[in-house]
Amino acid sequence: MNIDTTYNEDNSFNKEKKIPMDNNILKNDSTNNNNNIFEKSSTNKVNNLEQSNDNIDLIMNIPINFQVILGSCSMQIAELVNLSKGDIIKLDRRIGEHVEININNQKIAKGEITIMDDDTRFGVKIVEIIHSS
């Protein structure tokens, strides 16, 4: 910024600040109009969306521990060490009750055990999603 100092008729100083002007700022041509603002905004949104998709792609390959908990029981160590082939462990859930669906040891849903079409596999039908609070 330049300051121009001149004398007035009464010999007092007159200080004027000169602000340099860039003529391109005021120029209204095709390179400096509102359309470019919108184009840049749209480009930024596309870039942000692409970056967001890249971030999602990064987490899609993270392994998780998915568990379906049929039930549980309590027993003494003496009972545990005496278990052998053919023994039946009585669980706390009944047939038809919902099972817990956990991801990384966090309960995320309830489900029903189902038999798949080929009768050799079980599946779980999700009946309720549990929202964390």
What's the pTM value of the predicted model, to 2 decimals? Answer: 0.52
pLDDT for the residue 118: 87
Would you call 40 helix, strand, or coil by DSSP? helix
For residues 111 and 125, the answer to whether their CB atoms sit within 8 Å is yes
Q: Which neighbouring-strand residues pair with 101?
A: 68, 109
Would you call 56 helix, strand, or coil by DSSP? helix
Q: Give Cα 39 distance to the centre of its chain.
A: 27
Cβ neighbors of 15 (< 8 A, separation 6 or more) are 3, 4, 5
Q: Which domains, and CATH codes, for the chain? A: 2-59 (no CATH), 66-129 (2.30.330.10)
59-106 pLDDT, tens digit each: 888 999 999 999 999 999 999 999 999 999 999 998 889 999 999 999
pLDDT for the residue 52: 75
Average predicted confidence (pLDDT) for the chain:
78
